[in-house]
């Protein structure tokens, strides 16, 4: 067959190992890590799903090579730990048996040891070691590694590499980026040593090269070694791309693949992991420049999820391999859909950071658009229902669509009814925000998948108890969503007011001077969009903090954008909307006019409880999901919809 994306689908050989395509799964940390650093069964299933999905390589992250100086709660590989080698072997096998090549990331956190602990207070009680004596921004003292300790850490890279090869891993990634220990030696921001490990670039590269040599000695010739580096650190005290090129040239003789990432720990999260506010592939230029100066293959990554863009990256010679992390959480089968010419079925990552926020909060994983993530052991294939039933889904938002898709795959007769003329529910409003267009596109992808699975979709059709009875439905999934909260504030029903959900329909009404009334997530994102358009934007919020409903990874990036584009008024209680703006009461009880000739009302949502109550007894099986049950997140709507369909 003729591949639509021939360059992405082309095999590549590194060392003596041939990888089936150029789409690799980036390092992503596991969740059920045991107390002594073994890979738990949930994590094994987590990595295996990306192998089943068709990735060329799947990287297990991170294996800390020297627990004596880096006791991070991450993986360890040590024969003195019961089941350590066995768990690594089972994981490598779970990846390899699906045709993907298993890779293990070898790492050391250096002065940020303990980063992955949910209880960050324990991190501060650990010994923190780095290239130089210093004090971290959070006040934790860091001690300089001695030459003897450096030699022991170098030896540990080789020792763990040998065990990884024995376990069945067929490539190793040595982590030299993102502010971890090797990068700390490479970077003038961290490395202030006066001996042979500091000063000149040659000296700063010495530790990295010694570690790579130790790995090579352990695994032998022909075994692929990958070096992960930051092409640039994007902070004034660090190094830029010019020096990144020189670092790449210095380590090139010791590696088979240069993996070019970006940024440094704590300082550049939104660059290292590009957010929805930045363009896709914003770090590709780093790999493209480095590739001009080296002869080994180069890999790139950074918010990539479009087959067209990735194909162009390879075809144009900017990189030889593309890595994806979050994109393969959103759709683990993205590589298979690419190789099988089914790109329209790809469920794209929203870059919402639900996945990373959940890991930070609970040490588990979730994905907004994929209910399997973190729960792969429960089964990643939808099984046919033993008894086929007639199912009505009321509501065509994300939860309803995913429920219909799942129920149809089980073989049920599924009818999804949407009372409006367009599917998408609350996602329809996202089409007006350029940085959230993929969220709007999600409903189209879910619709396509539901129709292909056999679901019937009826638009302009409101579900009532009588309708369900007339259809003779055995099961009803209520996914009728929520409606905007509009309190009885004087003037809030005026012609100059636009409800945030309707902004996409009434953009022409919005003037150049806008007050966004409500500083939750929806209000903040709308305010940022309006500011990006060049409008003068004021944001009014009664609470002291903005966007408390945003997750811990997305919120700091959101607030940084707010600082660029919006004038903020927290602690302001809106009293009246006028043609000139909103009259508010500040913390001191004084009245203040926040100016704006257009007001965007973004005061929240409330469940459609009346509709839910009218439908509760409409069928033998009834399940309420998404905002209809509780105003929450797309993540919950999709997850509840999936399981509602599995329960029928």
- The per-residue pLDDT for range 455-474, each reduced to its tens digit, is 999 999 999 999 999 999 99
Percent of the chain with pLDDT over 70: 98
Model pLDDT, residue 149: 98
Residue 35 has pLDDT above 70, yes or no: yes
What are 57's two structure tokens?
Answer: 């390589």
Give me the mean pLDDT over the 112-129 stretch: 73
What are 474's two structure tokens?
Answer: 């055995």
Residue 120 has pLDDT above 80, yes or no: no
pLDDT tens per residue, range 311-370: 999 999 999 999 999 999 999 999 999 999 999 999 999 999 999 999 888 889 999 999
Q: Any idea what DSSP says for residue 438?
A: H
Model pLDDT, residue 117: 64
**Distance between CA atoms of 505 and 484, rounded to whole angstroms?**
15
Give me the mean pLDDT over the 127-138 stretch: 91
Q: Are 631 and 604 in contact (CB under 8 A)?
A: yes
Closest CA to 150 of 267, 66, 33: 66
Closest CA to 513 of 488, 547, 537, 493: 537
Q: Any idea what DSSP says for residue 177?
A: -
**Distance between CA atoms of 84 and 77, rounded to whole angstroms?**
6
137: confidence class by pLDDT, cuts 50, 70, 90: confident
C-alpha of 3 from chain center:
28
**Distance between CA atoms of 247 and 231, rounded to whole angstroms?**
9
Q: Does domain 497-603 have CATH number 3.40.50.450?
A: no
pLDDT tens per residue, range 421-454: 999 999 999 999 999 999 999 999 999 999 999 9
**Strand residue runs (E) in 355-409:** 390-394
C-alpha of 77 from chain center:
27
**Distance between CA atoms of 455 and 451, rounded to whole angstroms?**
5
**Distance between CA atoms of 379 and 643, rounded to whole angstroms?**
12
What is the domain partition of the chain in residue ranges? 6-377, 384-476+608-646, 497-603
Residue 546 has pLDDT above 70, yes or no: yes
Backbone angles phi, psi at 94, to 5 degrees: -60, -35
Model pLDDT, residue 266: 84
Give me the mean pLDDT over the 490-516 stretch: 97
Higher pLDDT, 359 or 581: 581
Model pLDDT, residue 123: 67
Tell the residue number behind the tokens 């090269």, with chain if given.
209
379: buried, middle or exposed (CB in 10 Å: 19+, 13-18, 0-12)? exposed
In the chain, what is the greatest distance between 2 CA atoms, to the nearest angstrom? 83
Give me the mean pLDDT over the 93-108 stretch: 98
Residue 227 has pLDDT above 90, yes or no: yes
Residue 138 has pLDDT above 90, yes or no: no
Backbone angles phi, psi at 105, to 5 degrees: -90, 120
Helices (H) and strands (E) in the chain, counts: 22, 28
**Distance between CA atoms of 85 and 92, rounded to whole angstroms?**
11
Q: Does domain 6-377 have CATH number 3.20.20.70?
A: yes
Q: Any idea what DSSP says for residue 289?
A: H
Give me the mean pLDDT over the 570-583 stretch: 97
Model pLDDT, residue 118: 60
Model pLDDT, residue 442: 97
> What number of CA atoms fall less than 13 Å from residue 117's CA on the CB side?
17
Give me the mean pLDDT over the 491-498 stretch: 97
Which one is the CATH code of 384-476+608-646: 1.10.30.50, 3.20.20.70, 3.40.50.720, 3.40.980.10? Answer: 3.40.50.720
Model pLDDT, residue 232: 98
Q: Please report, for residues 37, 267, 621, the alpha-carbon distance to residue 129 in angstroms, rounded to integers and kept in the order given.
A: 20, 19, 59
373: confidence class by pLDDT, cuts 50, 70, 90: very high
Give me the mean pLDDT over the 572-580 stretch: 97
404: confidence class by pLDDT, cuts 50, 70, 90: very high
Give me the mean pLDDT over the 143-162 stretch: 98
47: confidence class by pLDDT, cuts 50, 70, 90: very high
Residue 6 has pLDDT above 90, yes or no: yes
**Distance between CA atoms of 548 and 571, rounded to whole angstroms?**
14
Residue 116 has pLDDT above 70, yes or no: no
**Distance between CA atoms of 176 and 495, rounded to whole angstroms?**
57
Model pLDDT, residue 114: 77
Give me the mean pLDDT over the 187-203 stretch: 98
309: confidence class by pLDDT, cuts 50, 70, 90: very high
118: buried, middle or exposed (CB in 10 Å: 19+, 13-18, 0-12)? exposed
């Amino acid at each position: 067959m003729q591949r639509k994306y021939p360059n992405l689908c082309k095999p590549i050989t590194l060392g003596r190992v041939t990888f089936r395509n150029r789409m690799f799964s980036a390092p992503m940390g596991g969740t059920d890590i045991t107390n002594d650093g073994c890979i738990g069964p949930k994590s094994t299933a987590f990595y295996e799903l990306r192998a089943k999905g068709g990735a060329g390589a799947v990287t297990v992250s991170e294996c800390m090579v020297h627990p004596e100086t880096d006791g991070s709660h991450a993986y360890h590989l040590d024969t003195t730990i019961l089941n350590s080698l066995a768990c690594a072997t089972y994981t490598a096998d779970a990846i390899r048996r699906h045709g993907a090549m298993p890779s293990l990331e070898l790492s050391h956190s250096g002065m940020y040891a303990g980063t992955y602990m949910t209880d960050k207070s324990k991190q501060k009680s650990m010994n923190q070691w780095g290239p130089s004596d210093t004090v971290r921004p959070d006040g934790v003292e860091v001690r300089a590694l001695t030459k003897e300790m450096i030699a022991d850490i170098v030896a540990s890279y080789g020792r763990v590499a040998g065990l990884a090869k024995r376990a069945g891993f067929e490539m190793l990634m040595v982590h030299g980026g993102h502010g971890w220990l090797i990068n700390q030696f490479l970077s003038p921001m961290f490395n202030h040593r006066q001996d042979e490990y500091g000063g000149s670039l040659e000296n700063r590269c010495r530790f990295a090269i010694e570690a790579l040599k130790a790995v090579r000695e352990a695994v032998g010739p022909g075994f692929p070694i990958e070096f992960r580096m930051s092409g640039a650190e994007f902070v004034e005290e660090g190094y830029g791309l010019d020096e990144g090129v020189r670092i790449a040239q210095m380590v090139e003789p010791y590696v088979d693949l240069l993996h070019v990432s970006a940024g440094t720990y704590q300082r550049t999260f939104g660059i290292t992991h590009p957010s929805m506010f930045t363009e896709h592939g914003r770090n590709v230029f780093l790999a493209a420049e480095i590739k001009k100066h080296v002869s080994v293959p180069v890999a790139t990554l950074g918010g990539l999820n479009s087959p067209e863009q990735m194909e162009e990256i390879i075809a144009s010679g900017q990189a030889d391999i593309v890595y994806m992390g979050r994109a393969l959480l959103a759709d683990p089968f993205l590589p298979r859909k690419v190789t099988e010419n089914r790109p329209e079925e790809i469920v794209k990552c929203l870059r919402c950071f639900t996945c990373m926020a959940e890991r930070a909060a609970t040490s588990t994983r979730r994905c907004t658009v994929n209910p399997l993530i973190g729960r792969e052991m429960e089964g990643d294939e939808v099984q046919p229902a033993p008894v086929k039933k007639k199912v009505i889904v009321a509501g065509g938002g994300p939860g309803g669509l995913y429920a219909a898709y799942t129920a149809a795959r089980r073989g049920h007769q599924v009818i999804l009814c949407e009372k409006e003329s367009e599917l998408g529910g609350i996602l329809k409003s996202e089409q007006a925000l350029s940085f959230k267009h993929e969220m709007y596109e999600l409903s189209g992808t879910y619709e396509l998948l539901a129709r292909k699975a056999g679901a019937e979709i009826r638009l302009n059709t409101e579900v009532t108890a009588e309708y369900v009875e007339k259809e003779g439905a055995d099961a009803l999934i209520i996914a009728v969503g929520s409606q905007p909260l509009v309190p009885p504030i004087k003037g809030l029903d005026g012609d100059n007011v636009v409800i945030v959900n309707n902004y996409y329909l009434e953009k022409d009404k919005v003037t150049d001077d806008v007050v966004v009334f409500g500083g939750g997530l929806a209000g903040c994102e709308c305010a940022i969009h309006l500011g990006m358009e060049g409008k003068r934007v004021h944001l009014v919020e009664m609470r002291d903090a903005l966007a408390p409903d945003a997750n811990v990874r997305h919120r700091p990036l959101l607030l940084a954008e707010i600082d660029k584009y919006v004038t903020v008024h927290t602690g302001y209680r809106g009293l009246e909307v006028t043609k000139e703006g909103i009259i508010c009461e500040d913390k001191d009880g004084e009245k203040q006019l926040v100016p704006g000739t257009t007001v965007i009302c973004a005061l929240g949502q409330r469940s459609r409880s009346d509709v839910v109550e009218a439908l509760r007894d409409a069928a033998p099986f009834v399940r309420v999901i998404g905002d209809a049950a509780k105003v929450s997140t797309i993540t919950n709507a999709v997850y509840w919809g999936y399981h509602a369909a599995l329960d029928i």
